[in-house]
Amino acid sequence: MRLDKMLADTGRCTRKEAGKAVLSGNVKVNGLEVKDRSYNVDPEKDDVMFCGERIVYRRFTYIMLNKPQGVVSATNDPMERTVLDLLPSELKRQGLFPCGRLDKNTEGLLILTNNGPLSHFLLSPKFHVQKRYYFTVERPLSLSDIQKLESGVDIGGYVTMPSKVDMISEQEGYITISEGKYHQIKLMLAALLNRVTFLKRVSFGPIILDQGLECGEYRHLTKDEVSALNECVLK
């Protein structure tokens, strides 16, 4: 891969800026200054330093974001703050997009990636990727309500697939669904004449929201987490 492309792919600079950095002696490959922007590097093996910083090359980027309320799960929006606005510019430049959506007032785990095919598979109904949410509701849920939620409710011409509900108290619990209809959980509770008062996604497939991330904070997924994500669409 060309050196300037590799540097630009990390989001730190544009390809033109990468070329300038190379020409001005700010790039080293395996300890030696390289002055040719088209120099061929192996991103997996070569040790590349850019302005004194060691470059860790990732073919794709995967971010775990603890989405706060008040931001929309979009890449851009003329009116609203988006989840991308929570990331630094070098990440913003990497073509990341949210893998699925959380409502503006829903918090919690959102994965952002630039791996389009993987994201497509993870969101495909074919793979039944499970999503677990913590919720609170306006009115207590009865046993019959829980049974209805678990066996499927009509959310306006569509009957939801089976879910799993684990209550903590009468108005608070976890629900795990394996599909992702628009406003699904809110609509499921509305079908029981109740109302969701708080919603937070705590897991997505094998990925569990990192407790150490405050609302609005993010981190890269670990290698193991990325492998686990890939595995859930290979089965």
Decide if 103 is catalytic: yes
**Helix/strand/coil for 46:** coil
DSSP state of 27: E
Query: Among the candidate windows 61-69, 82-90, 146-154, 182-190, which touches ligand URA by CB under 6 A?
Result: 182-190
- Minimum distance from CB of 199 to ligand URA (Å)? 6
Candidates 39, 43, 93, 103; binder of ligand URA (CB under 6 A) is 103
Candidates 66, 94, 106, 119; binder of ligand URA (CB under 6 A) is 106
CA-CA-CA-CA torsion for 142, 147, 148, 152, nearest 10 degrees?
150
What does the DSSP assignment read for 70-82?
T-BSSS--SSS-B
- Minimum distance from CB of 189 to ligand URA (Å)? 8
Candidates 183, 203, 206, 230; binder of ligand URA (CB under 6 A) is 183
Query: Among the candidate windows 57-65, 139-147, 156-164, 181-189, which touches ligand URA by CB under 6 A?
Result: 181-189
Query: Among the candidate windows 48-56, 119-127, 153-161, 183-191, which touches ligand URA by CB under 6 A?
Result: 183-191
Site for ligand URA in 184-203 (CB under 6 A): 184-186, 199
- Cβ proximity of 112 and 99 under 8 Å: yes
Total residues contacting ligand URA by CB under 6 A comes to: 8
- Minimum distance from CB of 181 to ligand URA (Å)? 8
87 binds ligand URA (CB under 6 A): no
Structure tokens given for 217: 């904070």
CA distances from 175 to 7, 91, 187, 203 (A): 43, 32, 13, 11
In angstroms, the CA 223 to CA 130 distance is 20
Looking at 77, 103, 166, 224, which residue is catalytic? 103
In angstroms, the CA 137 to CA 174 distance is 11
Q: Could you tell me the sign of the dihedral formed by the alpha carbons of 80, 83, 87, 90, in that order?
A: negative
Residues forming the site for ligand URA (CB under 6 A): 102-103, 106, 183-186, 199
- Residues involved in catalysis: 103
